[in-house]
Each structure stands twice: as C-alpha cells, then as structure tokens.
Chains A and B, each alone.
Chain A
Amino acid sequence: MIVDLLMSTLRLSVPLLFAAYGGLLSERSGVANIALEANLLFSAFTAAAVVALSGQLVLGVAAGVVASALVSLIFALICIWGHGDQIVVGTAFNLLAAGLIPVLNKALFNVMGSTPALANTFHQTWPFFALALCVLWALHFLFTSTRHGLRLSAAGENPAALVNQGVDYQRVRLRAVVEGGVLAGVGGVYLSLCQGSGYVRDMAAGRGFIALAAVIFGAWKPIPTFFACLFFAFTDAVQIQMQGRSMGGVELPNQFVQILPYVVTLLVLIIFARQITAPAAINDSSRRR
C-alpha cells in the first residue's frame, strides 16, 4: 500500500510539476500567472484532439505543447503590451478555456464536453517524471548560472535595473512566459495522453492553481517548488486511496475526501504565506505608482 501510494504520488506529480515550472518562470520574471489552468486545459485538449484525428501520438504531444505556448504568448502580449492587469487577463483566459474548448470540441467531434476515448496513449509515467527531473536541473542552472536567468530575475525584481542597461525587460518577460507555457504544455499533454485517455471537460481540476500555490510554497525557487509539488501530489494520492474506504467503521463521504487536496493547499498557504516574499515587481503593469 505504501508503494502504491508513492507510485501514485509520482504519477500525480507530473502535471503539477510542469505547471509549477511554467508558473515559476513566469512569476520570477514579474508576470503573475493564474492562466496556468488554461495552459493545462488547452494543451490537454489540443493533444487529445490531434491524436484522435491523426492517430499520431508524437503529433499530439507537439500540438499540445505548441497550443500552450501560443496561449502563453497571447497572455503575455496582452499583459505586457496591452498593459492589462495580470490577474484580470489570467481570469479571462480561464474563462476563455471554459468556453472555447467546448466550442472547438463540438465543431471537431460533434459532441459536448469530451474528445473520443483514445486507444493510443502513453502507458508509462517514468519518462515524464525523468523529464521533470531534468527540467528541474535545467531551471536550477538557468537561475544560478546563465544570462537569461539573471535578466529574468532582474525583470521580476527591479525592471529599472534592466531599463538603465538598455535591455527591454518586457521582451525578457515575454520569453519567460512563453517558455513557461511550453513547460506547462507538457503537463497538459500528460493529463490527456498519459494519466487519462482523451480529454474530459475540466480535467485539470484546479491543478494550475495548486501548482501556483506550490510555487509560492517553494518561495519562487526551483528545488523547493519541486518538493512542494510532490507534497501536493501526495495529498492527492492519499485522497484517491481513501475514496470509498471506511475509517473506524464509518464511511467518509467521498465529497469530503475529494476536497482534501484543496484544503491541504489552503492550510499550507495559511501557515506559510507570511514568511515568503514574492518577486518585488510582480504584476507591476497595473500597480499604482
């Protein structure tokens, strides 16, 4: 049972990890990104739809990642050059995902809600998890040892430091958000092509937001964020194991079990939010001067 629980944790951690990596890149560059949920949904849907239409798994993966990158690109353009409030724009993207995906789904498959179930999916979690570990190392290296990482942190902490050097910090942010979109896209693809077999309405189920909480819990640093994701995935695994079981002879209502990950996330925020400081320039496009 312990082994089951741990395996299940690893499986469930993959989408959280990639979404959190995406959020990390975006937020460290100064763009608050609550559109992560939309990234997950769009990439999960696109990947499933392309596989359903073409039968090609690789094509689906590529399409899912590209879709997520595109979502991030538009999100970033509206935030940066449209001077939109990042929270408002993020909310609108989540609304857009809720509307556009069913519309496209109906147009493509003439059904509401879900893509057809796919015969052809990934059966193994471990390549994705291995990739997640590699990306973790890459992010750590990015922030400690590269030019892009240095400029990205500067854009999130004090954009004036870049402006004075003649560096366009908005371009730095744009790049970071799109790179984040690519990573989050992998998480979405995993949802529909590995964890599930096809797209189901709202299948991200708030993972984008939990990933964001993990980024906060991880103090906007790669390695702590990684462990925060594992922790949240663990609570999800516990939740799944507890469903339908009775405790001391009393059956716990499933509804209470299912909300466990959200409750734990909230509790973690309540306990730790005070001690963590966000990148100083986050969501500065709309802040009062």
Chain B
Amino acid sequence: MSLQLETVGLSKTFAHCTALDRVSFRFAPGRIHAVLGENGAGKSTLMKVLFGLYPPTSGEIRVGGEKFEWRSAREAISRGLGMVQQHFTLLENSTVIDNILVGAEVCSALGVLRRSEAIAQLEELLPMRHLSVPWDALVRDLSIGQKQRVEILKLLFRQAQVLFLDEPTAVLTPIEIEEFFVLLRKLRDSGRTIILITHKIGEVLAVCDTYSVLRQGRSIVQGEVKGAVAAEIVEAMIGRTMPDFAVARPAVHGQAALVTRELRVGDAHAEPGLSLHVQRGEIVGIAGVEGSGQSELVDALMGLREFHGSARLFDEELQNTSQVRGLGVALVPEDRLAQALWLEESCYTNMIIGLESAFLKHNIFKRAAIEGTTAAWAKEFDVRAGDLLAPVASLSGGNQQKLVFAREVGGRAPRFVICHQPTRGVDLGAIDLLHRKLVELRNQGLGVLLLSSELDELLKLCDRIYVFYDGQVSGEFTRAQFNRAQIGAAMTGVAHA
C-alpha cells in the first residue's frame, strides 16, 4: 500500500490570521519530501491540518487521488498517516512498550494488556534491527535519539505509510543525524512517503528528494532537490536574498569576566564539574545537544539553583539572583514565553521588568516616564508593535525576542550577557538584527555567553566554543580551530584534546 498525498487549494484561517492560504502540494510515495519555510510560515499548521488535528477552512486533501475529509487524528491514523511532533509526546514515567501501545493497545476483550504479544508483533515488524530499544526501559532514562526512535516505532506499529516529521533533527547530535538519515532512506525504500518539516537547507540537500516552500501561508514553489541551488531555495523561503553577515570583529583584549571552577549543579559527585571562563570582549558559545547541562548552568549562574564549586563574575562570587543582576548581568532566557515575558501585560510593562526602581517614586509608578523611556528602547531594537499598550502576547516571536533584548540590553546597560537559544522561533530578519547586536556588544568589551543548539549560529558568532556532553565539558575550540566534524564528535562525548 503506497499513498500519494495531495493538497488542493488548502486554506486554514484562525480568528485573527490566515495560517494557510490556498496551499497546493503533491507528495509522491517512496520519496522523502522537505517542507521548508521560516518560523510562522505555516509548516506546523499544514501538518496538523493534514493529520486531522485541525479542520481546513477550505480546499481539499486527496489521498491516492480520492478526496478525504479527516475528522480526527484517529481516522488519519487508520488511513496510514503518522506524525512525530517537534516536542515528543511521550510518557516519561512509562516504559517504552507502554508508550508504543497507548492508543493502539493490544489487549483482551476485557481490556487487559497483552504486552508480550505486542512485543512479538513489533519484532516481526522490524526488519531494521538498529531501531530496537529496550522495551521495558522507562522513557525518562532514554537518550534523545532513542526517544525519537520510540516515536517512529509508534508510527510503524500503527502501519503508517505516510510519515510527518516536524524538525526531527533539532535535538540530535551530528552523528545521530547521520544514523537518522540512514533510517529515513530505508523507510523510503520500503515505499513509505516521508514528509520532513525543516528550516535547514543542508538537511534538504543531504537527504530529501523534493522540496516544497511555504511563505506566509502560501505555497511558493515545489521542485526536485537534484539540480536545485541552495541560495534559490533560501530566497523562495524569505522572499528576498539574505544580506551577507559581515560585521567587523576587532580583537578586544579584556580581563576575565566570568570564571567558574568545578561548578557542579544538582549532582555534587559529577566530577570534574564545569571550569569555564569568559573574557570581556569575547563571545563564548556553549554547544551540545539539548539537555547536556545548559539550562542547569544558566540557572546556577543566575542564582536560581544551588551549586557546588565556584562561579565568579568580575571577581565576585555569585550568590543569588538579585546580586547577580546587580553585577550587571543581562539574561535572554531559553523559554521566552514562560521565562522572559509577562504575557498578561502590555509591552510597556514588559520592558521594565527587573528595572522597576528607576520608574518608582515613593513606591508609585511614574507612568509618563515609563512610556517615554521604553518607547525609545523599542525603537532602538526595532520592536514592531502597533501600540506598546497592547499585550505583549499579541506580538510575533521575533518582535517579542527583540523586546526582551530591548529590556535586557537596552534598558539594563549590562556588563555581561547570557543568551540562551536567542533565535529559537524567531524570523530571519530578527535573527540578523540580534546577531549584529551581539557582535556589537562584544566589540564594546562586554562578555557574552551564548548557549545554542544551532551549531551554525555558534560558528558564526563565537570567539570560542565549549562543547557540553552529559553535564561536562567535552571539548573547547578557539575560532581558529572551529571544525564542524570535531565539534560534532565532542557533542556525542568523544573528548577533544
């Protein structure tokens, strides 16, 4: 059974915006298709509509030439569709086999599970031995790569013929990505249709057969990867050519800003701990798969978590958040919506969080001063909000992130900047602006600590990169030593001398 999937003039409108606008694509069986687009171009919405999680507003979906109207994900599954979302939908405290079974249980008439029967079915189903995972292991003990395999096994167990994969490589190390591509090719060769949602051109060229570009909800182009030029695809994605990122980076000789010695968060016995240093006038990157200890490091430095060992900033031992902030630290946190923004409040209010004392007189807020000052910051950082009195939740991801920068960098006049995944969910225009700002800050003699799972971003901006693996430093590279393969190896724990 192989299925051709087709969308004809598919549209989806939400209350305030059109997410998909007459999208027409065709996905042939036995091939790997890339769906490309910027953040907010409508990729995820397209996938959810195809999978039956949202009903389309107009247009149709054809499977094998026949028109289908999905009513629910259940029906999509029974038609042979399967989806792996960017954020895994696994039960962390359950076993692998229970995760595979949930929703498609093998059980007796009374609802008693027959796990061994299910395992037998699975093992029969798997011609590819390297897909197998320990069935009785708890999911929370698995590596990210293994978790992804569990998600794919879920689809195969349900006989999926069309597989949707949303940004599947974002969480993998370079080596895991290679293994993953081998798996994808095998699945393709078994006649399945694979639809890869991504924004990475390199991946498209490496593994895909066709590419389809979405921009602002519209289908721009669909074509064969063979013979395509990367620059053209990018142009189709963003609607213009990207300017070159050429910002001068003169050598700045600064003293030490941040120095940590054998810093250990949580597990006090995890030797040897993190010994890092960041000079003034230097952007230091932390590379590594997500969950390798980055969040713990940021939390420790910000005084949000207790740690063992020492962390000194400008020769002062870090103790608690207000002291850290008092030393002049700006923070662009990882989870913008939960950690950086007060969603119920206006843009104005969001720009004074942490800076309140400047706008208070006898503990009462001076509204005029707030509005005047923050409007200037918003302008400097190109925050495009129709009205700064509007709730910050109504801004796009890029504008929200620029607002966070405006507050942390523009408002604070910091001496040290910690940036964690600063460009996640941000459009390319905003990324360019934020990257330029970071280099400017470096050139002004600030120390910058940049944590990112996008290796390209680090290679572009950093003077030096530490690689994290399993909560430890597995490699350190200066700009002259930057080497994608070696950094990739270090991300999987292969120590770099």
Contacts and interface: CB of A to CB of B under 8 A. Distances in A.
Given A147-B111, A163-B53, A157 B92 contact: yes
Interface string B83-102: 10101011111100011011
Contact of A161 (B72, B74, B75, B91): B91
A153 B138 CA distance: 14
B85 A162 contact: no
B343 interface: yes
Contacts of A289: 337
B450 interface: no
B167 interface: no
A69 B159 CA distance: 39
A216 B94 CA distance: 19
Interface in B322-341: 337
B89 A160 contact: yes
A236 B102 CA distance: 41
Interface in A110-152: 145-148, 150-151
A154 B107 contact: no
Contacts of B52: 166
B77 A150 contact: no
Given A147-B111, A147-B113, A158 B90 contact: yes
Given A148-B111, A158-B90, A164 B83 contact: yes
A148 B111 CA distance: 7
Nearest to A146: B111
Given A146-B111, A161-B103, A153 B91 contact: yes
B229 interface: no
Nearest to A289: B337
B457 interface: no
Contacts of A166: 52, 72-77, 103
Interface in A203-245: none
What's the dominant secondary structure at chain B's contact region? Answer: loop
Nearest to B82: A164
Contacts of B75: 166
A165 B73 contact: yes
What's the dominant secondary structure at chain A's contact region? Answer: helix
Nearest to B94: A153
Contacts of A157: 91-94
A190 to B, nearest CB: 28
B105 interface: yes
A288 interface: yes
A96 interface: no
A148 B113 CA distance: 9
B76 A154 contact: no
A147 B107 contact: yes
Contacts of B107: 146-147
A103 interface: no
B113 A146 contact: yes
A145 B343 CA distance: 42
B112 interface: yes
A226 to B, nearest CB: 20
A153 B337 CA distance: 27
Interface of B: 52-53, 72-77, 83, 85, 87, 89-94, 98-99, 101-105, 107, 111-113, 337, 343
20 contacts: A147-B112, A147-B113, A150-B98, A150-B102, A150-B113, A153-B94, A154-B103, A157-B93, A158-B90, A158-B92, A160-B89, A161-B99, A163-B73, A165-B74, A165-B102, A166-B52, A166-B77, A166-B103, A167-B103, A288-B343
Interface of A: 145-148, 150-151, 153-154, 157-158, 160-167, 288-289
Sorted from nearest, which 8 A-B pairs have the closest CB atoms? A166-B74, A165-B103, A166-B73, A160-B89, A147-B105, A161-B89, A147-B111, A167-B103
